[in-house]
Every structure is written in C-alpha cells, then in structure tokens.
A and B are shown apart, each in its own frame.
Chain A
C-alpha cells in the first residue's frame, strides 16, 4: 500500500528532513554543553553536594545573621523598586517614540528600536559589572543596570502592546484632528491599560529576582549574602537565604495576582476614575519608590552628576577599540558556541521537565514544585549545580533548565488549561484513552502557545547563558568575568559585542521559528 504514490503522506519527507536537521544541529550543541548525566551520580560530586545539602539543616537562625538578612532583603526590594521606577521613566518616552501606534503611516522608528535592542541585548548583570567599576561596590550600580535593561524591555513590550490593540479608535481620533499623544491616550490606552499594567507588575517580580542576582557582582542585597555563604560553603546560611528568596517571590506573586484581579474590577460610578483603592495604591507606590532611594542612599543628582558622566565616559572610552585580533576572536567564537549550547540544552531540558510537571491533573503539589524552581534565580542554581556536576557548561545548562522548568511549567499549565476542551472531550466520548485524547485533541490546540512560550524563553535564556559564566559555568560570561577582573577592557568589549550580536541573532532565529511553526 505504501507503493501507491497517492497513498503516501506528502509531508513525510519534509518532516524526516526536519527531524534529521534538528538532530544534526542539536548533537554538536549537546557535545559543546558537555552534557554528561553521569556526573550527577559521580561519587565525588555526590559527596560534595550531599555534604553541602546536609549542612542546609538546620537553617541558620542566629540573631546577628537574621539582622543582616533583613537588611539585605530590604536592600533587594529597594533595588528592584528603584530600578523599576528608573526603567519606567526610560520606557515611557522610548515606547512612545518606538511604537508605530497612532501614526498615520506605520513608521517603525529605527533609531529608537536599535537603541532598545542594545539596552535589552546586554544582560543586566553585565551592565551591573560595568557600573560597579564606575560607581564602586553598592546598590547604585544595581539600580542603574536594572533601569537600563528593564527600561529597554518595558519600552519594547509597551510598544508592541500598543501596536497589537485595535487601531481604529486612535485612527478615528487622528482623523478628527487630535494629536498623536492624545489619540493614543484616548484611543489606545483604555484598551491596553490592563495588559500594560499587568506586564509592568510581572516585570517588577522579575526585577526582584534580578536584583538578588546582581548581588553576586557586588551590587548589594541578598545576592551578595548568598555569594558569601556559597563561597564559604555555609549551608545553613544558604538555606535561610534560599527560603527568604522563595518567600519574597511567592509574596510578589501573590501581590501581582491581587493587583491583576483589582484591575479587572469595573470602576465605581463617580466622576473621578480613582477610588480609595487606586489612590491608596498610588500613594504606597510613590512612598515606596522614595523610601527605596532613601534606603539605598542614592540621589538622582548623584547618579546624573557631571562627575559621574565624566567617569562613565572615561570608563567607556577604555573599551575602544575592541580587541579584534584573530586569536582573541577565535576564543570569543568558542565562547559564543558554548553559550549557545548552554541556552539550547537548558531550554530543551526545561521544556521537557516543564511539560511533565504541567500535565498532572492534581495541581497543588506540582505548582508548589514549579514555584519553588522558579523562585530561585538561574545564577543561584548555577552555584549549586556547579557543586553537583563540577564547573563547566553542563552546570550552566542544568541551572538554566531548573529555573526555566519552573517558569515554563507554569505557563504550559495555563496554556493547557486555556486550550479548547471540546476536541479532547469528543475523542474520549468516542472511546479514546485519556492520553490519546490529549495528544490528538488538546495538545494541537495548545501547541502554538507552548512553542511560542518556549521560544520566548529561549530568547531570555541566551542572555542568561551569557552571564552564567560569572560563577564558573563556562561560555562568554566566564571570558568577560576574567577580562574585566584583569581590567582588559578592549577584550571585554569584544565579548560584550559578541553577547549583543548573539542575542540579536537568537531573537531573529526564534522569530523565524515561531513564524514557521504557526
């Protein structure tokens, strides 16, 4: 029957080629990431990680340490809040310039767009590392780094949200003579406000995790404490800090969930759009921003003084010209390949684990696992996986996989929940076993979203993979960390440019794949 050409699946050849191509691409990437599951069970490694984990109990609860911890926690929250305030200030005008929304002719402002790409493309940790050299150790570097990267991300997403809503109201307003700003305010913001607000809150959640991480390069907060605890293999302290992370992330999660629900309630029936709750929220928001800057003891004046500008300028000048010698470029190319491998392997492992954790019907224990995985930042996971499998790219890929599995698992579970239920139900009514009703009925409906989430996450992971090297997990990060430590700025700038190019290339590849798989 297969001999009859009419009865052959015309798509089979394409699928076979696609599968082979995937294997041919993935195989060397797995090689480069030095995937060796055996290392997980190596007796030496098991002993190290076992001893370390055993030391987790009991968690450190000394009064002195708890005092440090409280101070560091406040500092972390303050860095995140101040950083987000700065990011918001950057993002709003940039988004207005970059978005095609409300324009008569769709113009994508290429200059703002490319500026945003640069801001986003260089990971916040690299900015932090750079700013630490300018402003010295302390939270100012963290706040600036967060502000710049998150400003870039917020601006891009704001611009895209404004472009994605129905353009007709704004167009009508413009045709009746309104300016572009007013057309956006009256025609687009009401449609987009919920999504804008909920994305901003989500980013604040991410900023908390990011500010933890920046402590690792000396920008203060919980990360610095964690770095010290890990370097001294003090399990008890590490355990307490990890628990604090989880508490922070869980409560940020709860708060953002409450805010999102609050945004859904229709406004009360009076002239002012603000009720007591919104006014209370706004006051709290401003108070916490002011308090954050107070606590961190940085004024805007200090950040933007002529002196700071001068030292930044001098510092940046040191990065030019970048080192483009063949020998160094070869080293950087190897770093790029390794970083790419870490990101791909980490994302793939995470997608598999996330899907398995998203499937069970009885959610409670699994969402706890997912939230716990998610609440620990990649860099912190990397310090732990480095103990488990030794330094190197595999530790980085594992760390990425652990954190990303938490993120993707949650998104997958939501997507599967939102997938249309009728196809699967119909198949069960025709006698199909549950698993096959899922594979033939439910999964095809959710697949585009699952793929899109995975690819978006890969775009983020390539940035993360680039910095995991800071804790010895290989790739570009390791190169950058060495060169910056040795004040080899020309070499470092080549690495930063490589990171930027890599993240742009991955963005393009992921957009292409999303297009192909739709």
Chain B
C-alpha cells in the first residue's frame, strides 16, 4: 500500500468544505490522474496526501503509518519520502540550478552536508544525473533566473527525481507549458515513476493528457470522488457530466492526436538510469 484515505474531509477555517468523505487507496507503483473542474478539490486532495494540510475528518495514512501532526520529526521523515512537483516551480531565481536540485535531499541529508553544500555543492554527479534525465545537464551551473519557464519547470522535476521519493505528487505540473512540452513532461514523470516503482498522483487540467498517460483516472467534483476507473473505461458522457459546470467543451491539450497513447519508447533507457 502506498496511501489510504478513509472518509477524509477537509473544512477550511472559513467553513468551506473542500473535501467530503474521500476514500481512496493506492498500491505502491500506481499512476493516478486526478481530473475535474477547477475548484473541485484536486489541490486540497494533493495537500492532504503531501501532509501540507491536516484532514479535519476521517483517516489519512501514507506509507503504513497514519499522519501524526504532533510528532514533527516523524512528519519530517515522512515528508522526505514524498516529492511534490508544483504548478509553478518554487525555486528562487538567484539560486544556481545545481543547488536547486540538491535541495531535494535536504530532508535526508545530515545538517553538515546541507550547510556545506551552500558553499560548495557536494553531489555534483548526482545533480547532473537528475538533470540529464530532463535534458538540462548543460544548465547545471546556470542561475535559475537565466532559464525559460519550461526549463525551470523541468529543474523542479529534476529536484524531485533527485529526491527519489516513494510517492510523487504533481499539482497541475504542466499547465504553464505549451502542448508539446506538456506531453513530453508528463511522459517523463510517468516513465520515471514507473521505472523507480514510485507511486504517482498528478492533477491535470487537460483530459487527453490524463487519459493518454495514466492507467487510473480519478474524477473529482465538488469535494467528492465522482468516479475512480481504469482509463479505458472512462467514457465521454462521464467526462461531460464531470465538467458540466464548465460548459460544452472538454478541457483538452491538443486537438489533432485524439486521446494520445503512451509512448514506451525510451522506457528501458530510463529504467536503466534510475535508482
């Protein structure tokens, strides 16, 4: 088991119920896409999984032990095993790419190593290897504010790859990228999660990206789970009902290659590089 949510509810301080009675179980190595209209609770669900928010209701277990928010060292140890890809990469512009990538292991490193790495990056080969997988090895010593938005997003992914988490959470990881890059990035994430045996949960705005790249699709609507199905069993009417509040059109990324299939082309290569 990777995580188990049992009747999880999340009510914000202002009384808004973001999640209501969510029950969701994931085995190790599963790849799950969260889809649903904006405001449905996808981000809240990911925040609960990432221990950023404490559920106000129900039970949330990640990696066999339930979240105990009073035990800060246990939470830190748990968080070190969870990697998050953010919508906009949370990396300071003045930081160098190598430092930004190494920061992924701050939760695992001893203090002296974290301190020393500020002065001289201690694991340059490791950072280079992670960057190679996102095609950015040449930017190893560049400063992050010299990169384009897409490059920076890939640095954020490289950081998560370097962290080698057992659970990867991605909150709309490609909504700021152009279609071609978005597809490539999602493929990189899924291929890497598969190769490392990590569980991947990604919320996606574009339905085609989700259906084409993830074996399991969870539809979220108004804080509840609308459906939880293998991708081949998700039908167009179900999607229309899920997105009823957003009008006739389904949100999709690219129009030509309808419901893209997976590209296992470089899977073997990725697997070889991983772990």
Query: B139 in the interface, Cβ–Cβ < 8 Å?
Result: no
Query: Contact at A12–B120, with CB atoms within 8 Å?
Result: yes
A6 to B141, CA, bound (A): 11
Query: A279 in the interface, Cβ–Cβ < 8 Å?
Result: no
A10 to B143, CA, bound (A): 13
Summarize A's interface: helix, strand, loop or mixed: helix
Closest partner residue, chain A, to B108 (CB atom): A431
Binds B, one of A288-296, A436-444, A474-482: A436-444
Query: Contact at A431–B125, with CB atoms within 8 Å?
Result: no
A window 394-438: CB within 8 A of B: 420, 422-423, 425-433, 436-437
Minimum distance in angstroms from B142 CB to a CB of chain A: 11
Query: A326 in the interface, Cβ–Cβ < 8 Å?
Result: no
Query: B83 in the interface, Cβ–Cβ < 8 Å?
Result: yes
Query: Contact at B79–A439, with CB atoms within 8 Å?
Result: no
Minimum distance in angstroms from B125 CB to a CB of chain A: 5
B window 127-176: CB within 8 A of A: 128, 141, 163, 165
Closest partner residue, chain B, to A15 (CB atom): B119
Query: B225 in the interface, Cβ–Cβ < 8 Å?
Result: no
A9 to B98, CA, bound (A): 9
A518 to B111, CA, bound (A): 28
What would be 24 A-B contacts, judged by CB atoms less than 8 Å apart? A7-B124, A7-B125, A9-B98, A9-B141, A10-B141, A15-B119, A426-B84, A428-B79, A429-B50, A430-B79, A430-B80, A430-B84, A430-B106, A431-B81, A431-B107, A432-B103, A433-B107, A436-B111, A439-B115, A440-B95, A442-B92, A444-B92, A444-B94, A445-B92
Minimum distance in angstroms from B103 CB to a CB of chain A: 4
Query: A271 in the interface, Cβ–Cβ < 8 Å?
Result: no
Contact pick for A433, options B76, B86, B91, B95, CB 8 Å: B76
A448 to B145, CA, bound (A): 13
Query: Contact at A440–B118, with CB atoms within 8 Å?
Result: yes
Query: Contact at A432–B94, with CB atoms within 8 Å?
Result: no
Closest partner residue, chain B, to A432 (CB atom): B106
Minimum distance in angstroms from B123 CB to a CB of chain A: 9
Query: A175 in the interface, Cβ–Cβ < 8 Å?
Result: no
B window 160-210: CB within 8 A of A: 163, 165
Interface residues of A (CB under 8 A from B): 1, 6-12, 15, 420, 422-423, 425-433, 436-437, 439-442, 444-445, 447-448
Query: B114 in the interface, Cβ–Cβ < 8 Å?
Result: yes
- A432-B106, A433-B106, A437-B106 are known contacts. Are A423 and B90 too (CB-CB below 8 A)? yes
Query: Contact at B128–A7, with CB atoms within 8 Å?
Result: yes
| Residues of A contacting B118 in the complex (Cβ-Cβ under 8 angstroms) | 439-440
Query: Contact at B95–A444, with CB atoms within 8 Å?
Result: yes
| Residues of A contacting B52 in the complex (Cβ-Cβ under 8 angstroms) | 425, 429
Binary contact readout B54-91 vs A (1 if CB under 8 angstroms, 0 otherwise):
00000000000000000000001111111110101011
| Residues of B contacting A11 in the complex (Cβ-Cβ under 8 angstroms) | 96, 141
**Other A-B pairs beyond A9-B98, A9-B121, A432-B107, 14, CB < 8 Å:** A420-B92, A422-B86, A427-B90, A427-B106, A428-B79, A430-B80, A431-B76, A431-B78, A433-B111, A440-B95, A440-B106, A444-B93, A444-B94, A447-B94
A427 to B86, CA, bound (A): 11
Query: Contact at A436–B106, with CB atoms within 8 Å?
Result: yes
| Residues of B contacting A431 in the complex (Cβ-Cβ under 8 angstroms) | 76-82, 106-108
Closest partner residue, chain B, to A426 (CB atom): B90
Query: Contact at A440–B99, with CB atoms within 8 Å?
Result: yes
